[in-house]
Homo-oligomer: A and B are copies of this chain.
């Protein structure tokens, strides 16, 4: 079954669901899966609807055009997308390759519905790993004083690749604020701590020093405020006194891989809706 996905958020008001389902019914659409959430603290409405594409009487472009006036009236942010039109993503990595390897494996196994358009790295370490999968590998090193130029190159790669989503898979360079703004809601990072604990550098060392009994990882959208973006997913694992910093790094890798893979998967299937600092995630 092919699916067409409507994703929509707007201020809450009476009868929203009925109006949207009526619109779909009007065009013959058979609903396969409906998620709805009303955040009454924020007065905001969120929905995701999966329609059987075959039942729709209009082609995609026309469906969007017909939906536009209703969406405008509702003051909505929305997308309508065919599941089969996979998003294009660019992976960014530095010297720790566990998330990269994990994402590549899941992508080949069909767990991540996307095309990987390119991998960008500030080191050469993973060229072979990437190129043997038939994916273009771009080495953009950082030399002092030329950070701006590097990011200009990087954004060009993103744009040329037609990227819908950028995934920072343990990429250790800070994305400049203007890039964050232009790509808002389209850059996902994995932070190696259970945010908001241990914002910034060396979280595992600091977790060891603080003596926490659980360590974690956080998958979040990137915003100009470092490690402050909306959270998609978090994962934790028990830490015990006999785990030194090296052990925490090892245990943490499993958290990082899982939190990132889930967050990316949900984004790719239009299951994440943003509202300020919070996300609505219709998990699968």
Contacts and interface: CB of A to CB of B under 8 A. Distances in A.
Interface stretch (A19-27, A60-68, A82-90, A152-160): A19-27
A122 interface: no
A125 to B, nearest CB: 12
A236 interface: yes
A146 interface: no
B105 A101 contact: yes
Contact of A231 (B21, B111, B213): B213
A32 interface: yes
A33 interface: yes
Interface residues of A, number: 67
B244 A41 contact: yes
Copy number in the complex reads 4
B17 A21 contact: yes
A269 interface: no
Contacts of A230: 211
Nearest to A211: B278
A4 interface: no
Contact of A241 (B37, B198, B236, B243): B37
A214 interface: yes
Contacts of A31: 15-18, 36
B34 A14 contact: no
Given A37-B241, A198-B196, A234 B213 contact: yes
Contacts of A195: 197, 210, 212
Contacts of A55: 14
A184 interface: no
Contacts of A283: 240
A281 B241 contact: yes
A244 B254 CA distance: 25
Nearest to A34: B36
A278 to B, nearest CB: 4
Interface of A: 14-18, 21-22, 24-25, 30-41, 46, 55, 98, 101-102, 105, 109, 111, 132, 194-198, 208-214, 216, 230-234, 236, 240-245, 247, 250, 253-254, 258, 277-281, 283-284
27 contacts: A14-B55, A15-B25, A16-B31, A17-B21, A18-B25, A32-B38, A33-B36, A34-B34, A35-B36, A41-B244, A46-B241, A98-B105, A109-B253, A132-B132, A195-B197, A195-B210, A196-B197, A196-B198, A196-B210, A196-B212, A210-B231, A211-B231, A213-B231, A214-B236, A241-B278, A243-B284, A254-B258
